[in-house]
Amino acid sequence: MAAEIHSRPQSRRPVLLSKVEGHQDAVSAALLIPKEDGVITAGEDRTIRVWLKRDSGQYWPSIYHTMASPCSAMAYHHDSRRIFVGQDNGAIMEFHISEDFNKMNFVKTYPAHQNRVSAITFCLASEWLISTGHDKCISWMCTRSGSMLGRHYFTSWASCLQYDHETQHAFVGDYSGQITLLKLEQNTCSVITTLKGHEGSITSLWWDPVQRLLFSGASDHSIIMWDIGGRKGRTLLLQGHHDKVQAICYIQLTRQLVSCSADGGIAVWNMDISREEAPQWLESDSCQKCEQPFFWNIKQMWDTKTIGLRQHHCRKCGQAVCGKCSSKRSSYPIMGFEFQVRVCDSCFESIKDEDRTSLATFHEGKHNISHMSMDISRGLMVTCGSDRIVKRSGT
């Protein structure tokens, strides 16, 4: 779906401009063609299609190409009109699209992975093709020679990738919930650091090289902003989705983050404000409010002849509390909690009505979303998913 998101988060609801239908299986990726009224799609039905808008207002495929294996990922470089399509069998195929978008010529095949390709990035300056896959590795290959330059293996499936073209840093999210920051060299790489904060597999990443911010979405329904440039380990938690976060895009100009979840939810987050970091959860053997023992504190239970209680945590202060001392629920958007979460009674009293004002807008994409792409210059967005429909919308 393609939506205009130029304005502040109090933006109007995305309006569906057009539907593109024709794939016989889930659509893995959909990309808007810059400066053109067109969309490139790749699907599990083993097809790549280039759709152009006709005079009738309908989108029709000007290119229809069948691959040897289901298509799992795609990257398109508009200036050189090169398209790279990752497949379920681990190979990546490069094509060149004609200026009128009516013809696509095969260039070469890259044996990048031994299993499904999950993400692809092309760097024109170095002529590197960088990709991640379900063979638990990141690979980078030379597009001039087609040869493998390097590989680095992880402990679990590599699910998503972002790349800083200037510094040659790669960010790789994996199914264990970890993000690895690597520095890629011509034939080797070094691990700079690993980022841990999600409780589920990493499903999407977005790197903003201007502010040096990394955003990650995960199957735990949450988004984390990692302030890489600040060098102080600052992180911000954003919780507003009710399903796994499948795609994210940060609009640097307006300081907005757009995110999509598997249930069709689309959120636009206002990042142009001073947000608060969520606290670390404190550990205690007894409630930090009423001092009643938790159920594993056998000694205090015996000494006081009381039944042990279950431990909870206040999302605002991080203290370990019992259910009785945290019976209230509240949203707290400044800390990223857009829906009601558990807070202790004293924190609940400290939250004013104005503190509950939402700092994001939520919209309904009305279809399963597994992939999202934006043309920020035109304020357009396209979404696709397992329902085989591609939606292009605007506001």
Give the DSSP per-residue string, 64-120. EEE-SS-EEEEEEETTTTEEEEEETTS-EEEEEE-TTSS-EEEEEEE---SS-EEEE
Token representation of residue 210: 């201007």
- Domains belonging to the chain, first-starting first, are 15-274+359-394 (2.130.10.10), 298-356 (3.30.40.10)
User: Which phi and psi angles does 127 have, rounded to 5°?
Assistant: 55, 45
pLDDT tens per residue, range 13-34? 677 788 899 999 999 999 999 9
What confidence category does residue 85 fall into, taking pLDDT thresholds of 50, 70 and 90? very high
Among 158, 193, 185, CA closest to 172 = 158
- What mean pLDDT is predicted for residues 220-230? 92
Residue 8 has pLDDT above 50, yes or no: no
Contact (Cβ atoms closer than 8 angstroms) between residue 8 and residue 27: no
pLDDT tens per residue, range 283-331? 999 999 998 888 887 877 788 888 878 889 999 999 999 999 999 999 9
pLDDT tens per residue, range 125-184? 999 999 999 999 999 999 999 999 999 999 999 999 999 999 999 999 999 999 999 999
Burial of 226: CB neighbours in 10 Å, binned 0-12, 13-18, 19+: buried
Give every CB contact of residue 231 below 8 A, 6+ residues apart in sequence: none
Token representation of residue 302: 């015996």
pTM check: above 0.85: yes
Q: Is 326 helix (H, G, I), strand (E, B) or coil?
A: helix
Token representation of residue 285: 């053997």
Give every CB contact of residue 354 below 8 A, 6+ residues apart in sequence: none
Give every CB contact of residue 34 below 8 A, 6+ residues apart in sequence: 78, 375, 377
Token representation of residue 244: 């796994």
User: Which phi and psi angles does 214 have, rounded to 5°?
Assistant: -110, 130
The reported pLDDT for the residue numbered 395 is 58
More confident residue, 233 or 240: 240
Residue 50 has pLDDT above 60, yes or no: yes
